[in-house]
Amino acid sequence: MAVVRQETIVNVFPSSDENRRLVIAVEQLPDSASRLVLRQETFSSDVGWFVQSQVAIEPEQVPALKMSLGRAGAPKIQHRSRELPRVPAMTLRFDGAAPGAAG
């Protein structure tokens, strides 16, 4: 007997590569609680979208995940260019302190 899986897609996040995306879905299996899943998917012209990898978030992990992602005042993620500028090394000098002496 085949197990029928029901899911509701919560959101789809496109990638910088048009053939990749991240999917967040709520999955419901018969006789079990629902769970949140994160899927990395790839597109192929032969088969369409297919799952590369999947991570299941257990129900007791969801509140901590929400808190981590939704913190007020959390710094926004910034995309950096592939090439970072070179920063010269800097030497700090501590005048008057003996080596190895703690203050």
What pLDDT score was predicted for residue 65? Answer: 85
Q: How far apart are the first and last CA of the chain?
A: 73
Interatomic CA distance for residues 82 and 101, integer angstroms: 42
pLDDT band for 50, please (50, 70, 90 cuts): very high
pLDDT band for 98, please (50, 70, 90 cuts): low
Interatomic CA distance for residues 7 and 38, integer angstroms: 12
What pLDDT score was predicted for residue 10? Answer: 93
> Residues 8, 26: contact at Cβ < 8 Å?
yes
What pLDDT score was predicted for residue 72? Answer: 59
Q: What is the pLDDT of residues 3-33, one digit of tens each?
A: 677 889 999 999 999 999 999 999 887 777 7
Question: Which structure tokens are listed for 84?
Answer: 């970072």
Domains of the chain, by residue range, sit at: 6-66
Average pLDDT, the chain: 78
